[in-house]
Amino acid sequence: MPLSATQALTAPQTRKRRGRGQLVPALLFLAPAILGFLAFFAWPAMRGLYLSFTDYNLLSDPQWVGLENYQQIAGDPVFWRSLAVTMQYVVINIVVQTVIALGLAVLLHRFTRSMVIRGIVMLPYLIANVIVALVWYWLADYNLGLINSALDAIGLDRIGFFGDAQFAMTTIALVNVWRHLGYTTLLIFAGLQAIPRDVYEAASVDGAGEWRTFWSITLPLLRPVLAFVLVVTVVGSFQIFDTIAVTTQGGPVDATNAITYYIYDRAFTRFDFGYASALSVILMFILAVIALVQMRAFRAGQSDLER
């Protein structure tokens, strides 16, 4: 039934009053999240930014030094070494994890509906990082580990997975791939569920095989989800810490001294909180730039289904 002239004039005012009435309940629901954001993110971030311009060691008040910390970082060989080590970890972790997770998600989506198999894939992600690191540290031990015992039994040389600078960071990256693979697979699997079935049926009618369907339909339509997965996994990879702290403590010879472990070392071992804060600010800007480039490059806000 069409609205009368009076109803048409009063309708916007009614909606505005209703909106004001819903504002208070909305703010009450948002209050815990807003307080948590202010207390655990906004304030620490502002405090860290301030400390990055100071000389601070917990035992005295912060002394303002301007850009001195950033100038020291520019000439710090350990910083550049830790950045290179972190990049090595990120590349191994992202490439191996994304490729395997994509393959697993496609197989789960196309060939099985079993909740048991999905649960098995997710199982490593439910184990705490520290426990995973300790278990793999024992399995890969040079003298007592099962992996080296197996290599010895078939006549191959033992490998110092965590003790050899050539293998240490690769081993840590693969341990974290094993732990996070289920989570990444689940994200991609959720993206596959959003692709309409009739698209696959049309491709099947046209005679497209599994390989052609994957490259021409699955991968293009999965692009926004893959962009999200890459942003999340890259940011998470730059924050690698617990596995290194449990297994190698940055060694051997700084081979696993990632940027986060270097920040921890400067702050809580040498009590140089000003310098550590400057390192943290630089890491934050690096991650922001990488995330922005990834979102733009993969056109994360657009889907080919909308064309």
User: Which tens digits make up the pLDDT trace of 226-249?
Assistant: 888 888 889 889 989 999 999 999
**Using an 8 Å Cβ cutoff, are 163 and 143 in contact?**
no
Ramachandran sector of residue 58 (left: φ over 0; alpha: ψ -120 to 50; beta: rest)? left
Does residue 196 have a cis bond before it (omega within 30 degrees)?
no
User: Which tens digits make up the pLDDT trace of 199-222?
Assistant: 888 888 888 887 888 888 888 888
pLDDT for residue 299 is more than 80: no
Query: Can you tell me the distance from the alpha carbon of 214 to that of 210, in angstroms, rounded to the nearest whole number?
Result: 6
**Whole-prediction pTM value?**
0.83
* Per-residue 3-state assignment (H helix, E strand, C coil) for 89-131: HHHHHHHHHHHHHHHHHHHHHHHCCCHHHHHHHHHHHHCCHHH
DSSP per-residue codes, 34-88: HHHHIIIIIHHHHHHHHHTTEE--SSS--EE-TTHHHHHHHT-HHHHHHHHHHHH
User: Which tens digits make up the pLDDT trace of 133-191?
Assistant: 999 999 999 988 999 999 999 999 999 999 999 999 999 999 999 999 999 999 999 88
> What pLDDT was estimated at residue 145?
92
User: Which tens digits make up the pLDDT trace of 35-53?
Assistant: 999 999 999 999 999 999 9
DSSP state at residue 304:
G
- Partners of residue 64 on adjacent β-strands: 54
pLDDT for residue 82 is more than 80: yes
**Using an 8 Å Cβ cutoff, are 132 and 242 in contact?**
no
Spatial CA neighbour of 259 closest among 94, 91, 84: 84
> What pLDDT was estimated at residue 110?
78
pLDDT for residue 77 is more than 80: yes
